[in-house]
Structure 1
Amino acid sequence: MRLSPSLFFTTGCEPALAFYEQCGLGRGAILLRWGDDMPVRTEAMRGKILHARFEGPGVLFHASDNDDAEPMKGSAMMLEFEDLAVMRELFARMAVGGRITVPLARQYWGTFFGMLVDAFGVQWMFSCSGE
C-alpha cells in the first residue's frame, strides 16, 4: 500500500503543475483533460485537467481541476530533506507568489522546519534533519 495524495483545484491545476515543475519538484507524467475522449460536466471545464500524475525524486501526487472543489485547508504536503541548502532553495522558489506561514528555522524539536501556502493555495511543510 502507498498513500498518494491528490490536489484538487477549481481551474488552476495546469499552471500549478507548471510552477511545481519550474521549481524543480518533478514533472507531470500523466495528463488527461476534460473533453478528450470523455464527457465534460460543464463546457467551462473543457480542456482543464481531469487527472494528472506528478512525479519527482521522492515525490508522487495526483492533481485535477474540479469546478466544485473545496478550498484547500486542513492538510499540507510534507517534504522531508537531508540537505538543508537544497531545502532552502526549494522553499524560496515555492514561496514566490505565495505566503510563508512559518519561516525556515531550527525548531525546538531539533530539525529545520518551515511552512508556506503557495500561489495556488496549497500548504507545504518543509523539514530537514541534516545541516
Structure 2
Amino acid sequence: MAKLNPYLNFDGTAEEAFNFYKSVFGGEFVGGVMRMGDAPGTENLPEDEKRRVMHVALPVGGDLLMASDIVPSMGHKLTVGNNNYISIFPESREEADRLFGALSQGGTVEMPMADQFWGDYFGSFQDQFGVYWMINYSARQESK
C-alpha cells in the first residue's frame, strides 16, 4: 500500500512555518533543511532565493509533513487556497484542543472545535501561513 504525506509550498516562509510546526508537534527535521543554493545549477539565483528552502520534512506521528519554497526568478508563483487541508486525527479530545489552539494561533478559524452530528469532535481553520487544517477526534478511536 502506498503512503501519502502532505507537501506544502511557501513563498519564502517555509522555514519559519516549519519551525512553528516543530514547536507544536515536536521532533526534529529529517535530514535538516536543504537550501536552494545547495543544488547544482543555482549559482545565478538571487542571494535571497539561494537561502530559500528546497526541502524540509517533519515527522508527525508515523507520517511526514514536507515543504519547500517557490523560486520566483524561475517563474514559480504561489497560489494559496482552500483546495488542500491537512487533516489530523488526534488520540484524545485534549490533544485535539491543544493542536487546534496552537496551530490556529494567528490564523482564521472556520469551525471551532465542537461535537458534530456525525459523532466526532471537529474543527477547521487556516493557520498564519495560509495552510488549511482539520482536526477530527473520534471517540470511536478509543474503543479500538
Q: TM-score, normalised by structure 1?
A: 0.90
Distance 1:69 1:52 in 2: 19
CA contact (8 A) 2:122 2:137 kept: yes
Post-superposition shift, 1:23? 1.3
Whole-angstrom CA distance in 2 between matches of 1:84 and 1:45: 41
For residue 71 of structure 1, the aligned residue among 65, 76, 79 is: 79
Q: Which structure 2 segments of 5+ residues have no match?
A: none
CA distance in 1, matches of 2:87, 2:26: 12
Pairs aligned (count): 131
- Structure-2 change in CA distance of 1:75 and 1:37 (3 Å): closer
C-alpha distance after superposition, 1:68-90 (max 9, x if no partner): 24323201000012200011011
What RMSD, in angstroms, separates the aligned Cα atoms of the two structures? 1.7
Q: Counterparts of 1:1-131 in structure 2 under 5 Å?
A: 1-24=2-25, 26-30=27-31, 31-40=33-42, 42-43=45-46, 44-67=48-71, 68-73=76-81, 74-130=83-139
What is the DSSP-based 3-state SS (H/G/I as helix, E as strand, rest coil) of the residue aligned with 1:35?
helix
Stretches of 4+ aligned residues off by more than 4 angstroms: none
CA, structure 1 residues 25+128, in 2 after alignment: closer, same or farther (shift >3 Å)?
farther
In terms of fraction of residues, the more strand-rich structure is 1
Residues 17, 27 of structure 1: 8 Å contact kept: no
